[in-house]
């Protein structure tokens, strides 16, 4: 009796072909080349461009502060172009605008030393968030730091808000002024970007300041109302500028 010949070793199982499940039909694998534009990842620069459009819309009165805050937060949290698109869909298209006419009341020919806004936007904590006057007065001036929102109220009294030497914790600032049988005066430098949106009821909400500022300027919106009282917003040169011209 001869020894039995060894049985041949079966060949190893062949690995499943790429993209195929050995126990079922071929698996579907997503392909980034087939993604739509809305599914592509947005960059920091894309998010910042949308944020800039929203700031412009706020300054022009197209968005109120609540809408602006909500959209700005969504812009910085956006991951894709599809997340960013709805935030500016109802705003005017980004068609290159015509030249803007500056409404800034300049200090005069020969004045130098315009504000260096890179030194005035400090991104810190505001030194004051509001002011109140009742049968009295308040004053905010000098090198104080303005926050994103500053609310002031004067009843049977008066207040002064001076931004000529102020620093800014945010690039977009809203100053709310409410005067009831009282008065509030807001003073801004010629270089500041300002929009005034308040109104008066048996009183006045003056606007001698709306207009564009110099490049890099914060955007300040002054809003509120005056009831049997007054709120005034005007541009004045800084003290150093007056000394140079004096």
Q: What is the 3-state secondary structure (H, E, C) of the chain?
A: CCCCCCCCCCCCCCCCCCCECCCCCECCCCCHHHCCHHHCECCHHHHHHHHHHHHHHHHCCCCCHHHHHHHHHHHHHCCEHHHHHHHHCCCCCCCCCCCCCCCCCCCCCCCCCCCCHHHHECCCCCCEEEEEEECCEEEECCCCEEEEEEEEEEECCEEEEECCCCEECCCEEEEEEEEECCEEEEEECCCCEEEECCEEECCEECCECCECCCCCCCEEEEEEEEECCEEEEEECCCHHHHHHHC
Nearest residue to 148 (alpha-carbon basis) of 87, 66, 46: 66
Phi/psi at 134 (nearest 5 deg)?
A: -135, 115
Question: Of the candidates 216, 125, 210, 130, which has an alpha carbon nearest to the alpha carbon of residue 176?
Answer: 130
pLDDT score at 15? 47
Question: From first to last of its 246 residues, what are the pLDDT tens digits of the chain?
Answer: 445 555 555 555 444 444 444 444 444 444 545 677 777 888 877 887 887 787 777 666 677 777 877 888 888 888 888 898 888 888 875 433 333 334 344 433 334 457 888 889 887 788 889 999 998 889 999 999 999 999 999 998 889 999 999 999 999 999 999 999 889 999 999 999 999 998 888 888 988 889 988 888 999 999 999 998 889 899 998 765 444 444
For residue 240, the model assigns a pLDDT of: 53
Q: What is the pLDDT of residue 75?
A: 85
Residue positions counted in the chain: 246
Give the pLDDT score at 98.
34
Looking at residue 1, its pLDDT comes to 45
Ramachandran class of 209: left when φ > 0, alpha when ψ lies in -120 to 50, beta otherwise? alpha
pTM value surpassing 0.85: no
Any idea where the domains of the chain sit in the sequence?
37-88, 120-238
């Amino acid at each position: 009796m001869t020894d039995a010949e060894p049985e041949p070793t079966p060949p190893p199982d062949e690995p499943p072909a790429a993209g195929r499940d050995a126990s079922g039909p071929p698996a579907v694998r997503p392909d980034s080349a087939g993604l739509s534009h809305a599914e592509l990842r947005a960059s920091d620069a894309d998010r910042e461009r949308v944020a800039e459009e929203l700031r412009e819309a706020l300054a022009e009165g197209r968005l109120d502060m609540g809408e602006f805050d909500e959209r700005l937060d969504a812009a910085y949290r956006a991951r894709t172009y599809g997340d960013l698109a709805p935030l500016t869909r109802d705003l005017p298209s980004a068609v290159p605008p015509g030249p803007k006419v500056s409404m800034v009341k300049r200090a005069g020919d020969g004045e130098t030393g315009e504000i260096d806004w890179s030194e005035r936007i400090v991104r810190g904590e505001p030194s004051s968030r509001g002011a109140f006057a009742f049968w009295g007065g308040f004053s905010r001036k000098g090198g104080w730091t303005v926050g994103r929102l500053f609310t002031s109220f004067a009843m049977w009294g008066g207040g002064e808000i001076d931004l000529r030497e102020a620093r800014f914790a945010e690039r977009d600032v809203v100053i709310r002024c409410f005067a009831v049988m009282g008065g509030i005066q807001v003073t801004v430098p010629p270089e500041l970007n300002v929009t005034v949106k308040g109104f008066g009821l048996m009183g006045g909400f003056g606007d001698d300041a709306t207009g564009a500022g110099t490049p890099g300027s914060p955007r300040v919106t002054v809003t509120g109302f005056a009831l049997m009282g007054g709120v005034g917003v005007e541009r004045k040169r800084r003290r150093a500028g007056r000394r140079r011209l004096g």
